Amino acid sequence: MIGRSGNPTLNDNTFDRHDFAHDPMTIGGTVNKAFMTLALLIAAAIVSWTMYFNGYNVGGLAIGGAVVGFILALVISFKPSAAPYLVPVYAVAEGTFLGALSATYETLYYGITMQAALITISVFIALLIAYKTRMIRATENFKLGIFAATAGIAIVYLLSFILGLFGITVPYLHDNSLIGIGISVVIVIIAALNFVLDFDFIESGAQQGAPKYMEWYGAFGLMVTLVWLYVEIIRLLAKLRSRD
């Protein structure tokens, strides 16, 4: 049984439901795909960022990027064999959304984007080192705990969105009170720990000789966690800065 991942795009059956190929998935290949995906995401983010500061209304681009990214994430999750074709498009869509989102926050709090990016990269590197040195081990209880916490956060966000349509606000989730900041800190920690499960999942897939296209799928899973973590960090920083 392949290890369980808290990342909703990666689960026990992702590798098991496919025939293993003669040209198998490798960790090195997955890393290369992840860097290519990240490069596309950053390039798209720079475009929407530049458009924003040149006076263009990028609200539509941001919403469109978020919606397209969400739809593509669902399609890729249910059809991993399409990952080589759809993951690059997903990266561009998410990059467009993140660029516009980051520019909006940067207007409100100068320097916040660089801070959020550096913290996100630092957390990723720290957890990768911790995983490789086995300082953190993806035990079954650890996986189940992070999976449950991630699912719980997703449900809360979904309820917040639905209730928001009726003018109802979930207490503390979006405000800058000490409780609200504490909630954001917990969400950031849970988002970050998903990297450990992603590393374990990709390593297990490579050991099992999963099909080559699963390298793109593994890169996709990392990008999902990376985007989530960055968004949560910039939200947390914004809460902290708004208290000054």
Band of the pLDDT at 2, cuts 50, 70, 90? very low
The contacts of residue 171 (CB under 8 Å, 6+ apart) are: none
Which is nearest to 12 in space by CA: 156, 208, 216, 158? 208
**pLDDT tens column, 203-223:** 998 888 889 999 999 999 999
Token pair 């003018």 in the structure block, residue: 167
- Residue 211: φ, ψ to 5°: -55, 155
> What secondary structure does DSSP assign to 193-205, as a single string?
HHHHHHHHHHHHH
Q: Where are the beta strands (DSSP E) in the chain?
A: none
And the tokens for 220? 């996709």
Contact status, residue 41 vs residue 93, Cβ threshold 8 Å: no
pLDDT the model gives residue 8? 52
pLDDT the model gives residue 5? 47
pLDDT the model gives residue 102? 96
Residue 6 has pLDDT above 70, yes or no: no
Instruction: Say whether 11 sits in a helix, a strand or coil.
Output: coil
CA distance 180 to 32: 38
**pLDDT tens column, 17-50:** 444 556 789 999 999 999 999 999 999 999 999 9
pLDDT the model gives residue 198? 93
pTM of the model as a whole: 0.89
Band of the pLDDT at 15, cuts 50, 70, 90? low
The set of long-range contacts for 208-211, using a CB threshold of 8 Å and a minimum separation of 24, is: 208/2, 208/15, 208/20, 209/20, 209/21, 209/24, 209/25, 210/15, 210/18, 210/20, 210/21, 210/24, 210/25, 211/18, 211/19, 211/20, 211/21, 211/23, 211/24, 211/25, 211/81
